[in-house]
Every structure is written in structure tokens, then in C-alpha cells.
Amino acid sequence: MSDEAYVAELRNLFPVVEHWTYLYNGGIHPCPRPVGDAMRSFLYQWEEGGRDAWPSAYEAFSRLKEKFAELIHASASNIVITESTTAGINLAAQILSPQPGQNVVVTDLAFMSDTYPWLVSHAAAELRFVKSRDGKIYLEDLEPLIDEYTAVLTICAVTVGSGFRIDLSEVHTITSKYNVPLLVDAAQALGLIDIDVNDPLLDFLVCTAGKWLMGPTGVGFLYVGERFLNATPPAVGWLSAANRNEWDVYHCQLHQDAMRFQGGMPNLIGVVGALAGLELLEQIGRDFVERRVRDLTSYAIEGLQEIGVKIWTPRADHERAGIVFFCDPRYQDLYEKLKNARIYCGSFLCGIRIDPNFYNTFEEIDKFLSVVRSHVIRNME
Ligand SMILES: Cc1ncc(COP(=O)(O)O)c(C=O)c1O
């Protein structure tokens, strides 16, 4: 079957495409039908059976940890299910708990959640920003900020704005010189690019169940590397305890793995939906998704180059993933024009972002480019 025929089939799983040329994967990405179905079915089971819904949902919780782990070549025993990427970053920050005299290194291409925990909750440590150039982080700008007092380097595998994809192995050669923990935010990356937490060796990785993983909001995860696995959890609950079935309120025997960082009842509807998202991704095939998204984004970049807008996203395939961002002095106006043409994209910082997914078509990119072209021509007149 040709890619186009396969995509035509897959589009039936995404009701949103009937209403929009949907070229955005940020914020709340479109809900695939199988994810909605899984959540509806859980709700039905819960309404009809009450606690009877628990065993299968708890099984989904365990399977979800396994699936998240598989994505990053890890073991489920290193995975904490969180409510979001942000919650994962904050948990990692609490485990690391940088002290006065230490520093934390972030980049100016980070998402807010990558810098705010250090700015607000762990402000005793000095916060150092690597400044980007041309939408990229250069290692020669990063290296001088790292030293033996660095408590952690937080880095996005793919950045939210320019969409720059950093070479984690190169970053690791710098952090490993000083034995600095590496926290990778993979929210814009997983599902699209392969990350192996063993190569290079990562200490923490956070991600959402949404975006490229197609699950609902309210679920994410934190990978905790071996050297932090026996840390005292900053917050504990019944799920943290290996002896929870003893109902011993006097003694808490913490799990020996990442389960010690789980607190209370998980977001079961979200868990069931997140698992369905990962199963769908597996069914479609990550290789297909990656290839299709690369083809669509390359096509969009070529078209935008021809129009002559200022593209912020690096051009080389290995330096980008699913995001294409360009700046425009009147981007809010353009955003409205696109919306009026029923084209959904992102609009923030200096411009417009699209992140087409595997279910998008080249005709949809053409439609988008034609609105951008007439906007640019009109503004030159
Ligand atoms: C790189 C990155 N990290 C974190 C987040 C926040 O994710 P969450 O809402 O799951 O905390 C986003 C959201 O766009 C993001 O792009």
C-alpha cells in the first residue's frame, strides 16, 4: 500500500481532520478515536461496576510503565507515572535538591517548566542560561557554564520553539567530564525520535503522554536513573510502600525501585487513554511516523524558503524533528487568517509553528503555504 493510501486509512482514526487542517501537535493535541474509545470504555466499566473497574485499570497502570520504559530502552522499575512533564521535572528537581554554592544549567530554548522550578522552588542555587544562536544550542556555549558545582543540566531533546534537536551524546561528553546529572525533557521528541537512556547514560528523562505519544493530558512520566533510585522521595503515599497491604501506619517500607516515588491513586482514565495512545503508535510504527513527519516537514520548509519567510528551525534533518517555526512581524494577523481558513497551527514568541503529524497530507501543507504566501505578498504591497 502506498503511504498516501495508508494515511487515508489512518485519517479515519482522527475525527479532527474532518473539521480542520490540523497542523499542530502542541498544547492539547487531537484525540485519536482509539484513545477516546479506551477512556469511554473505562468510564462505562467504572459506572457499571464501581471498584470492579480497578483490576484492569491497575493492570493498565503497570503496562503503561512498561510501554513508557520500552520507548526509552529502560526498565519499568525506573519509571514514575506523573500527572505531566512539569510534575516530572519538579520531582527530579526535588530529588536533586540543589544547594547554595551549586548551580543549575538550562538553555534559553527551554520550555517554562524547565526553568521555573529552579527559579522559584530551588532558587538557592545559581541558575545559568546557555544562550542560543540561530535557534540552536552550541556546545561551545554550553561547556563553559558547566563545572564541578553544577547540580544538573536540564536540556530539551527537541526545543519547543525552534524545534532544534540536540545531540545528546555530545552533551553527555561534557556533563560526564564533571559527573553532572543530565535531565532530558523529551516532551517534543518521544514518539518521533529514538532516545536510549543507556546511550548516552541519562539520569532523568521526562515526557508527557500527549503530543507525539497521542495520550490524554494529565499523564506523563519521569525516568529515574540507577544512581538516584534509592533517594528519599520528597512526597510519599500508600503506593510508595512495599508493605501497603499490611496497613501498617507505623512503618513504611519503601519500594526499592521508582515505585517509591508514586503517591496515591493514579489518574486511571488518563492511564487507560495513555496506554491506548502508545499501542496505537506501536501499531502504526514509529519508523513510519518518523519518515512521514520528516517528509512533511521538509516539504513545508522548502515551501516556506521559497516564500522567503524567516525560518527559525534548523534545516538539517538531524538537527530537527517534528517542528517547523518561522517568524513574521505580523504573525498574529497571519494566525487569524490561517484560522479563518480552518488551518490550525501554533502562534507564540515571534511567529507561527506547525508540527504536522503522520495523518497530515501534502495537500494540507500546500493549503497552509498558500495562505502564508498571500499574507507575505499582501504585506509587501
Ligand atoms: C518541551 C516541553 N516541556 C514541557 C512541556 C509542558 O508539558 P506538561 O504540560 O506535560 O507539563 C511542554 C509543553 O508544551 C514542552 O513543549
Q: What is the pLDDT of residues 234-261, one digit of tens each?
A: 999 999 999 999 999 999 999 999 999 9
If asked whether residues 94 and 17 sit together in one domain, one would say no
Q: Are residues 71 and 55 in the same domain?
A: yes
DSSP for 329-374 reads TTHHHHHHHHHHTTEE-EEETTEEEE---TT--HHHHHHHHHHHHH
277 and 369 assigned to the same domain: no
Claim: this prediction has a pTM higher than 0.95: yes
Is the domain of 79 the same as that of 170? yes
**Residue 51: what pLDDT?**
93
User: What is the dihedral sign for C-alpha 107, 109, 111, 116?
Assistant: positive
Pick from 80, 86, 184, 347 the residue to mutate for probing ligand 1's pocket: most ligand atoms within 8 Å of its CB: 86
Q: Do residues 180 and 322 share a domain?
A: no
Ligand 1 binding pocket includes 182 (Cβ within 6 Å): no
**Residue 208 CB less than 6 A away from ligand 1:** yes
- The domain boundary, picked from 262, 282, 302, lies at 282
Regarding the beta carbon of 89 and ligand 1, being less than 6 Å apart is answered no
47 burial type by CB count under 10 A (0-12 exposed, 13-18 middle, 19+ buried): exposed
| Mean of pLDDT values over 353-370 | 98
Average pLDDT over the chain, rounded to an integer: 97
- Structural domain range at position 354: 3-30+285-380
User: What atom in ligand 1 is closest to the CA of residue 27?
Assistant: 14
Which bin fits 211, alpha (ψ -120 to 50), beta or left (φ > 0)? left
Report residue 380's pLDDT band, with 50, 70 and 90 as the boundaries. confident
Q: How many Å apart are CA 222 and CA 225, to the nearest integer? A: 10
pLDDT at 326 exceeding the cut of 90? yes
- Expressed in percent and rounded to 5, the helix, strand and coil fractions of the chain are 50, 15, 35
Residue where a domain terminates, one of 228, 251, 282: 282
Cis bond upstream, residue 117 (ω within 30)? no
Total tally of structural domains belonging to the chain:
2
Cα 72 from Cα 195, distance rounded (Å) = 5
269 and 333 inside one domain: no
% pLDDT > 90, the chain: 98
Q: Is 355 in the pocket of ligand 1 (CB under 6 A)?
A: no
What confidence category does residue 158 fall into, taking pLDDT thresholds of 50, 70 and 90? very high
Q: Is the CB of 117 under 6 A from ligand 1?
A: no
Provide the CATH number for the domain around residue 261: 3.40.640.10
Looking at the fold, whether 189 and 326 belong to one and the same domain comes out as: no
d(CA 113, CA 110): 8
Using most ligand atoms within 8 A of CB, pick from 89, 108, 111, 158 the residue to mutate for ligand 1. 111
| Residue 271 to residue 63: CA distance in whole angstroms | 9
Beta-bridge mates of residue 198: 201
Claim to verify: residue 10 and residue 91 sit in the same structural domain: no
Report the separation in Å between the CA atom of 187 and the middle of ligand 1, taken as the mean of its atom positions: 6
* Residue 220 in contact with ligand 1 by CB distance below 6 A: yes
Is the pLDDT at 1 greater than 90, yes or no?
no
What pLDDT is stored for residue 126 in this prediction? 98
Is 130 within 8 Å of 105 (Cβ atoms)?
A: yes
CATH code: domain of residue 345: 3.90.1150.10
Query: How many whole angstroms from 130 Cα to the centroid of ligand 1?
Result: 19
pLDDT number for residue 27: 86
pLDDT at 174 over 90: yes
Assess whether 203 and 269 both reside in one domain: yes
Domain end residue (candidates: 235, 264, 282): 282
Cell of 291: 519518515
Q: How many residues does the chain have?
A: 381
185 lines ligand 1 (CB under 6 A): yes
DSSP string computed for 302-315? HHHHHHT-EE-S--
- Give the CA dihedral 220, 221, 222, 224, nearest 10 degrees: 180
How far is residue 128's CA from residue 105's CA, in Å, rounded to a whole number? 5
Which atom from ligand 1 is nearest to the alpha carbon of 86? Answer: 11
Q: Is the Cα dihedral 238, 241, 245, 247 positive or negative?
A: negative
pLDDT band at 114 (very low <50, low <70, confident <90, very high): very high
Q: What residues have CB less than 8 Å from 380, skipping those under 6 apart?
A: none
Question: Could you tell me if 139 and 212 lie in one domain?
Answer: yes
What percent of the chain is modeled with pLDDT above 70? Answer: 100
Q: Are 134 and 314 in contact (CB under 8 A)?
A: yes
Read off the pLDDT of residues 48-60 as tens digits, 9 standing for 90 and up.
Answer: 999 999 999 999 9
Mean pLDDT over residues 20-45, rounded? 96
Q: Is 107 in the pocket of ligand 1 (CB under 6 A)?
A: no
Q: Same structural domain for residues 197 and 230? A: yes
pLDDT at 192: 95
Asked if residue 381 has pLDDT above 90, the reply is no
Q: What is the pLDDT of residues 70-95, one digit of tens each?
A: 999 999 999 999 999 999 999 999 99
- Bridge pairing between strands 220-224 and 204-208: antiparallel
Minimum-distance ligand 1 atom for the alpha carbon of 84: 10
Q: What pLDDT is recorded for position 177?
A: 97
Kindly state the average pLDDT of the residues 349-378: 97
Judgement on whether residues 249 and 329 belong to the same structural domain of the protein: no
